[in-house]
């Protein structure tokens, strides 16, 4: 756990009645949040470069958003089980219209991202089992290291990791390909990379048409904001078309304008069969969704796929208000436009500290800085130091728990605040570099950089 210099240690008392795993990576609590700013329990003001983990694309406590949900809250209905309600009808129509894709004409609303992935696995398998090619068309291919959530199916999609070891068995119908990291493939050879990883994964030959029903990919790999080379996506498309395999894209982080597109599949020129979304969809209220075509969505029988809290009036109003703000403030366009400035500033940082930074990735208003493992200090420790120092100097970044930090401000951020934020990152990395040059030995001995800095 990262403990910023100010003494926040007493905050640990707040975890007394909670599961340990809910403790934050940075020991702090939020008192209030407005637009692009957060105030912590000590009234320390921070620029939010996390968008509350890519939820607050429209900014915190947006007044139009609040007005809309307060209106619903004050109306004489707070839940309608699976019976229709007006906000739900209005929202589903608006959501489908927002996607503006003839094929994606139906949605299934849920509460969390991980549920959307579970539902996707179910839909793909239900679809595959009706295939004319074989009743065993059950297999799902996904990509190692991608992140899809914490429930069993969703966690299985990320491949065998320490985090998924609790599952205790391997579903023989789930297959994992390697992620095309930039150091393993260039865009020119990414088709070959795809073919090789297929060969590696399927050592025993498999009739894909008869056995594989779906391919699920995270729109970009989260911890490093790694995007796929377009050729790699082309290879997936060709493979899936040839073998009658459905493609699902997990747009949990990338959706609703984050990358300068409504959804990242537009950039990839991918025509997905299923889109999974959540996070920014409700700007803080728990709503997620699976969006697909009638041919898939009409398969489950009434009652086979529903959930107590899905599509309740309040979350649907939140979804509706979110779409309205995105449209009114042209946030998709804004995110695309600000990318130039954001990328330029991050490149400046990268070129200024080539000994510390391995690479930066950026699209729209999502970026990652990936740190190098040095002889005496790991990239993860550098990332922790940058997180801490940024926090102390008024900027909250996403600490990925790995050798990277992730940056994703609300899409309403001004150019001025964006510049101020990247300057904080620059200044703190500069200080850390200086410190490391002078004190590497001390750091190695005491392992307590936070009090020393
Ligand atoms: C790409 C992706 N998919 C799925 C999820 C799971 O979403 P949730 O935490 O709402 O269950 C996340 C959450 O971080 C995510 O980033």
Alpha-carbon dihedral 57, 251, 147, 19, rounded to 10 degrees: 50
Nearest to 236 by CA among 107, 123, 142, 333: 142
Pairing relationship of beta strands 395-396 and 37-40 according to DSSP bridges: unpaired
Joined together, the tokens standing for residue 82 give 């699976």
Q: What is the DSSP letter of 189?
A: G
Question: What does the pLDDT look like over 254-295, one tens digit per residue?
Answer: 999 999 999 999 999 999 999 999 999 999 999 999 999 999
Q: What is the pLDDT of residue 7?
A: 58
The mean pLDDT of the chain is 94
Q: Is the pLDDT score of 442 beyond 50?
A: no
147 lines ligand 1 (CB under 6 A): yes
Which atom of ligand 1 sits closest to the CA of residue 218?
A: 1
Among 22, 111, 114, 163, name the best residue to mutate to test ligand 1's pocket (greatest count of ligand atoms within 8 A of Cβ).
Answer: 114
388 lines ligand 1 (CB under 6 A): no
Among 278, 307, 310, name the best residue to mutate to test ligand 1's pocket (greatest count of ligand atoms within 8 A of Cβ).
Answer: 278
Question: What does the pLDDT look like over 352-399, one tens digit per residue?
Answer: 999 999 999 999 999 999 999 998 899 999 999 999 999 999 999 999
CA geometry: angle 54, 343, 236, nearest 5 deg = 65
Please state, in angstroms and rounded to a whole number, the distance separating the CA atoms of residues 281 and 317: 11
54 lines ligand 1 (CB under 6 A): no
DSSP letter string, 351-407: HH-TTTEEEEEEETTEEEEEEPP-SSS-HHHHHHHHHHHHHHTTEE-EE-SSSEEEE
Which atom of ligand 1 sits closest to the CA of residue 219?
A: 1
Ligand 1 centre to CA of 76 (Å) is: 32
Task: Calculate mean pLDDT across residues 428-435.
Answer: 96
Question: What does the pLDDT look like over 313-364, one tens digit per residue?
Answer: 999 999 999 999 999 999 999 999 999 999 999 999 999 999 999 999 999 9
Name which residue sits closest to atom 14 of ligand 1, judged by CA: 149
Among 117, 143, 148, name the best residue to mutate to test ligand 1's pocket (greatest count of ligand atoms within 8 A of Cβ).
Answer: 148
């Amino acid at each position: 756990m990262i403990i910023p210099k100010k003494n926040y240690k007493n905050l640990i008392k707040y975890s007394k009645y909670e599961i340990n795993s809910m403790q934050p990576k940075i020991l702090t609590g939020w008192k209030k949040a407005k637009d692009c700013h957060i105030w912590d329990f000590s009234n320390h003001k921070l620029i939010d470069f996390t968008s509350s983990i890519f939820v607050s694309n429209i900014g915190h406590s947006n007044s139009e958003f609040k007005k809309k949900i307060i209106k619903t809250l004050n109306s004489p209905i707070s839940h309608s089980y699976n019976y229709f309600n007006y906000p739900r009808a209005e929202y589903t129509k608006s959501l489908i219209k927002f996607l503006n894709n003839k094929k994606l004409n139906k949605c299934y609303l849920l509460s969390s991202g991980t549920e959307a992935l579970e539902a996707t696995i179910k839909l793909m398998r239900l679809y595959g089992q009706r295939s004319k090619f074989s009743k065993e068309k059950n297999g799902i291919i996904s990509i190692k290291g991608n992140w899809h959530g914490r429930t069993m199916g969703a966690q299985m999609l990320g491949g065998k990791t320490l985090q998924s070891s609790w599952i205790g068995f391997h579903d023989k119908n789930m297959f994992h390909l390697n992620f095309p990291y930039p150091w393993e493939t260039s865009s020119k050879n990414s088709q070959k990379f795809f073919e090789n990883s297929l060969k590696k994964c399927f050592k025993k030959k498999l009739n894909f048409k008869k056995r594989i029903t779906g391919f699920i990919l995270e729109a970009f790999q989260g911890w490093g904001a790694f995007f796929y080379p377009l050729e790699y996506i082309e290879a997936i498309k060709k493979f899936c078309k040839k073998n009658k395999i459905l493609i699902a894209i997990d747009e949990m982080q990338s959706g609703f304008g984050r990358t300068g597109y409504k959804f990242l599949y537009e950039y990839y020129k991918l025509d997905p069969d299923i889109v999974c979304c959540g996070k920014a969809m409700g700007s803080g209220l728990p709503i997620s969704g699976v969006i697909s075509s009638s041919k898939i969505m009409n398969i489950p029988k009434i009652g086979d796929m529903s959930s107590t809290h899905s599509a309740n009036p309040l979350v649907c109003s939140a979804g509706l208000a979110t779409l309205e703000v995105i449209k009114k403030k042209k946030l998709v366009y804004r995110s695309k436009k600000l990318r130039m400035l954001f990328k330029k500033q991050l490149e400046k940082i990268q070129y200024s500290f080539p000994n510390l930074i391995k690479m930066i990735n950026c699209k729209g208003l999502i970026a990652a800085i990936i740190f190098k493992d040095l002889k005496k200090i790991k990239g993860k420790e550098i990332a922790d130091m940058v997180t801490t120092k940024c926090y102390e100097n008024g900027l909250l970044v996403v600490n990925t728990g790995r050798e990277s930090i992730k940056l994703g401000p609300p899409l309403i951020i001004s150019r001025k605040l964006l510049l101020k934020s990247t300057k904080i990152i620059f200044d703190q990395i500069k200080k850390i570099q200086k410190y490391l040059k002078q004190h590497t030995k001390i750091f190695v001995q005491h392992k307590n950089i936070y009090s020393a800095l």
